[in-house]
Structure 1
Amino acid sequence: MLNPILITGAAGFIGFHTAKKLLESGLSVVGIDNMNDYYDVQLKEDRLNLLSTYDNFEFVKLDISDRAAMENLWQGHGPFTKVIHLAAQAGVRYSLQNPYDYISSNIMGHLVILEMCRHTKGFEHLVYASSSSVYGKNKKLPYSVDDPVDHPISLYAATKKSDELISHSYSHLYGIPQTGLRFFTVYGPWGRPDMAYFIFTKAISEGKKVPVFNNGNMKRDFTYIDDIVDGILLTLERPPVKAGVAAPCRVLNLGNHKSEDLMDFIHEIEDALNKKADIEFKPMQPGDVIETFADVDETIAITGYHPKTTISQGLPIFVEWYKSYCQIGSD
């Protein structure tokens, strides 16, 4: 019998969709999450309720930085030879007010996962979430994994870069096959309420002001959730191999390979809602960047990843889910 795949952050946006795709294919998944209240816990519980309809899913509530709890998990539900590590304290702006949460979850939690993998016989592959935020104010576009990323402009970005460095050291020392995925602005159904597309959709649908930073002069590589999940699972099946002195460790970009104007993104939401936005322009926020743009050529070459979803296809799907989930227009 195949060992179950462990997904950390399984009640989160990307974790939920990744688990669902694996469960639909008949594989067994153990999901863990600390169910913190960074955003509405009810949304996390609703995602879990959907996953719990699958017989091949098991959920354990725990904090990845709790070493004893993680050891018990490995003994009671493992061993896990494939791990998709998506649990983290997310958000660039939130890190300005809550720095300790980021060190505990993103660095200590990552280290605990690595220690678990290190002591697992026959371990195959750890795929973990990094972030496009590591590029900071990188001038060169599109962002390539070969670009220097030594000057993070938020604590969140610094923790993600730290994870990449710690992972490389563990691969070098212990031969753990690992791939870090730098996600670029992921959106879609069951998404996070703190993300811009969710905030915009909620504000427009409720007739409230839509906060838009830097007077709307921003561009993002918006990537639809189904494309991200495809990229994660394609990567999982292609672990890096040790080559000479090089550690079996790599970092890849997962984006849409297209930088979209923020105002065009908002217009797509307006069209999907059939309602105009009341925009309130605001200054640039600390820790934010003007533009993100993923170079995914290496990801394509290694994994066969091909993002397919445009914002004009993906945003209406999100808006329909939002209206259904929030019971808008159902009377």
Structure 2
Amino acid sequence: MAEEPVLVTGAAGFIGFHVARELLDAGRTVVGLDNLNTYYDPALKRARLALLAESPRFTFIHGDLADRPATAALFAGRRFAVVIHLAAQAGVRHSLSHPHDYADANLEGFLNVLEGCRHNGCMHLIYASSSSVYGANTKLPFSVEDRTDHPISLYAASKKANEVMAHSYSHLYRLPTTGLRFFTIYGPWYRPDMALFLFADAITQGRPIKLFNHGRMRRDFTYVADVTRVVLRLIEQVPPDATGRAPARIYNVGNHRPEELMHVVGLLEQELGRAAVKDMLPMQPGDVPETFADVDDLMRDVGFKPETAIEDGIRSFVAWYRSHYGV
């Protein structure tokens, strides 16, 4: 398996780029797929791809997973043993105004990936879910054993749908699947639609930052390098095909330590050398006041232990931000 190429969908995206680079650094061969859509600046995606393209073991395919014939042809032609599916239409707020984007990318696209894996000998499908599936849950920390049947955004509903779709394919076709519920991943090469990036950009330019729920938010911020390490470990951690049980697993991927949003804003101010102008606003639709991951299963199965303190992670993010944007 180690000599065969790994397919990373969403390879030009934030997490996909870091996972692909970690695979390349580990000596793996990677095929990266992305549609380079305009949800945020494609120039950032191309800059990430340029770094990946420096490796002779990286091949990029510009394609859309919602294109059923093209996706079927890709899987039939390559027969990937390992697929890491990170492509998706992201964003809770965007789902309020552009719901069909989520049906195309997160439902149709994911179904085409499942079909490609089913028919072409895939030995392990690892796919991105989200902490958003916990919806209005109030019990903390969030556990994979908790009920997740009350999503509060279409984005969350589409990710929950991915989990149950994957489980059905695991049950029917014995396709090993591992779902990852990501918790507020951040770091260098960050998405410009995410809060920390928006905050850094606004602070730098002297614009107000929007603090919803009047800043009374807690998030399980997880540094991207901690995430990529665990994804690589999970490749070989294939769910067993046990009698009477689908070969399917779901894990939380978080820092297991929620941070006060105002503390994180303070760290950004410190690293940027400027005070933020704060615009205190009420809670917005589809958002939750706190996320907190129970990662005991991941620690037990692959020895996952978050290693990056929020102070170090913010410092690394800001250093990249300053360098990339010439701030």
Normalised by the length of structure 2, the TM-score is 0.98
Structure 1: segments with no counterpart, 5+ residues? none
Does the 8 Å contact 2:72/2:112 carry over to 1?
no
Once the two structures are TM-superposed, the CA of residue 166 in structure 1 deviates from its matched residue by 0.6
For the 8 Å contact 1:110–1:163, the answer to whether it is kept is yes
* Alpha-carbon shift at residue 207 of structure 1 (Å): 1.2
Identity percentage over the alignment?
A: 53
Quote the residue 1:148 is aligned against: 147
Farther-moved stretch of structure 1 (130-139 vs 63-72): 63-72
Question: Residue 310 of structure 2 aligns with which residue?
Answer: 311
Q: Which moved more, 1:173-182 or 1:21-30?
A: 21-30
Task: Write the distance in 1 (CA, Å) between the matches of 2:89 and 2:216.
Answer: 27
Is the Cα contact below 8 Å between 1:19 and 1:51 reproduced in 2?
yes
Aligned residue number for residue 60 of structure 2? 59
- Superposed CA RMSD: 0.9
Could you tell me which residue of structure 2 aligns to residue 98 of structure 1? 98
Instruction: Name the counterpart of 2:195.
Output: 196
Contact 1:11 1:45 (8 Å CA) reproduced: yes
Shift of 1:283: 1.3
Displacement of 1:2: 2.1
| C-alpha distance after superposition, 1:94-147 (max 9, x if no partner) | 0000000001100111110000110123x2110000000000111100000000
- Measure, in 2, the Cα distance between the counterparts of 1:119 and 1:106: 20
3-state SS of the aligned residue for 1:96?
A: helix
- Tell me the secondary structure at the aligned position of residue 93 of structure 1: helix
- Structure 1: distance between partners of 2:27 and 2:249: 28
Residue identity matched to 1:317: S
Q: Is the 8 A contact 1:88 1:105 kept in 2?
A: yes
| d(CA) in 2 for partners of 1:316, 1:12 | 21
The CA distance in 1 between the partners of 2:232 and 2:133, in whole Å, is 22
Deviation at 1:244, TM superposition (A): 1.7
Q: Deviations over 1:305-331 (max 9, x none)?
A: 111111101001000000000011xxx
Match of 1:298 in 2: 297
Counterparts of 2:75 and 2:178 in 1: how far apart (Å)?
Answer: 21
| Alignment check: 8 A CA contact 1:3 1:79 kept | no
Q: Partner of 1:45 in structure 2?
A: 46
Partner-residue secondary structure (3-state), 2:141: coil
Q: Give 3-state SS (helix, strand or coil) of 2:92's partner.
A: coil
CA drift at 1:75: 3.7
Distance of 1:295 and 1:167 partners within structure 2: 22
Match of 2:20 in 1: 19
1:279-298 mapped onto 2 (5 Å cutoff) = 279-298=278-297
C-alpha contact 1:65 1:104 (8 A) present in aligned 2:
yes
Counterpart check, 1:277 vs 2:276: yes
Q: Within 1, Cα distance between the matches of 2:269 and 2:26?
A: 35
In 1, are the aligned partners of 2:76 and 2:116 still within 8 Å (CA)? no
| Contact kept? 1:218, 1:261, Cα under 8 Å | yes
SS of alignment partner, residue 278 of structure 2: strand
Match of 1:81 in 2: 81
The amino acid across from 2:81 in the alignment is T
Q: Gapped runs of 5+ residues in structure 2? A: none
Separation in 2 of the partners of 1:101 and 1:240?
Answer: 31
- 2:175 matched residue in structure 1: 176
In structure 1, the residue matched to 2:251 is 252
- Shift of the alpha carbon at 1:40? 0.5
Aligned to 2:226: 227
Q: Which residue in 2 is equivalent to 1:207?
A: 206
Amino acid at match of 1:90: A
Q: Secondary structure at the match of 1:179?
A: strand
- State the one-letter code of the partner of 2:258: S
Residue 242 (structure 1) aligns with = 241
